[in-house]
Amino acid sequence: MTTLALRRTPLRRLGDLARADVLAAVGLVVLVLIVLAALLAPWIAPYPDDGGAATHPAEALLPPGGDHWFGTDQVGRDVLSRVLFGARTSLFIAAAVLVVAAVAGVALGVVAGYAGGWARDVIMRITDVFLAFPALLLSLALAVVLQPSVTTVVVAIAVTWWPWYARLTASVAASVGRRGYIDAARCLGVPAPLIIVRHVLPNSLTPVLVQLSLDGGGVILTAAALSYLGLGAHEPTAEWGLMVEQGQTLFTTDWWVVTFPGLAILVTAFAFNVLGEGLRASLDPHRRPR
């Protein structure tokens, strides 16, 4: 009967989450390690120059061994170093896409959800148009029109990603808008923009955070796919999708060139997903442990 209300700092919440959900905790740890690897790549990579345009023809396609744990690629660059530098590109793309998509989607969604009426109709119809195209297809089309580059990848994916955030936020904001504290603020004469920023937005963000974390893996996969198709990052940038594309023909003979960047994509996407699922479970009031 009694609900025990404890004060929970975000850090303690993560602690609770870790205890409640081992898989999510593993995801969190793996992600932290990947971020650290990306940040520290220039210092921890065994051959920092190999992250860029360096070539060592004499050491091409060496199998994994003492000097090169993950082996070397066609031009003799250390695959481990390139996977580490690739983490920077992939995480940058993921972060940039999610920030752009979430900011645009949440801003439009919260207005649509709270205002309702014609504002919601207009915004929701626009998102419907974007959602009508398969994300990869739309990104492909955009990436063809724009010059292949990391920025192109970011723009192309963000354009197909924001409508989901708009839709999600609109539905949450609409239900938050019916709460008593919103009515109370309106009765106080608090202007609508302030009500949105102060009350509707903070109370609508939880599901968005969950979605962000679930989507991290999806963005990395899509970015890898675009690069793989030659529409994203290009030589000599270290990018996982691009590395897979360059190494795929060698799979039967020199398996390590394609396998390690592929594993990096897999592990990162997986980590994002289990963390997202864990967050969803722990933030869902119906499933919160007593």
Interface residue list for other proteins (CB under 8 A): 1-3, 5, 7, 179-181, 183-190, 198-199, 202-203
Rounded Cα–Cα distance for residues 53 and 67 (Å): 20
CA distances from 192 to 117, 167, 264 (A): 15, 20, 46
CB 109 within 8 A of CB 96: no
| 163 closest CA partner among 136, 129, 197, 137 | 129
* Shortest distance, position 197 Cβ to other proteins, whole Å: 12
Shortest CB 108 distance to other proteins, Å: 22
Smallest separation, CB 224 to other proteins (Å): 37
Q: Which is nearer to other proteins, 74 or 203 (CB)?
A: 203
Choice between 41 and 201, CB closer to other proteins: 201
Which of 3, 252 has the CB closer to other proteins? 3
Question: Which residue, 179 or 287, has its beta carbon nearer to other proteins?
Answer: 179
Tokens 């919260």 label which residue? 110
> Could you give the CA distance from residue 54 to residue 51 in angstroms, rounded to a whole number?
8
The smaller minimum CB distance to other proteins, of residues 84 and 185, is found at: 185
Q: Provide, rounded to whole angstroms, the least separation between the CB of residue 6 and other proteins.
A: 9
- Shortest distance in whole angstroms from residue 184 CB to other proteins: 5
**Residue (11 or 145) nearer to other proteins, CB:** 11
Give the shortest CB-103-to-other proteins separation in angstroms.
20
> Do 150 and 156 contact (CB within 8 A), yes or no?
no
Q: With respect to other proteins, which residue has the nearer C-beta, 10 or 57?
A: 10
Measured distance CA(123)–CA(118) in Å, rounded: 9
* Minimum distance, C-beta of residue 190 to other proteins, in the bound complex (Å): 6
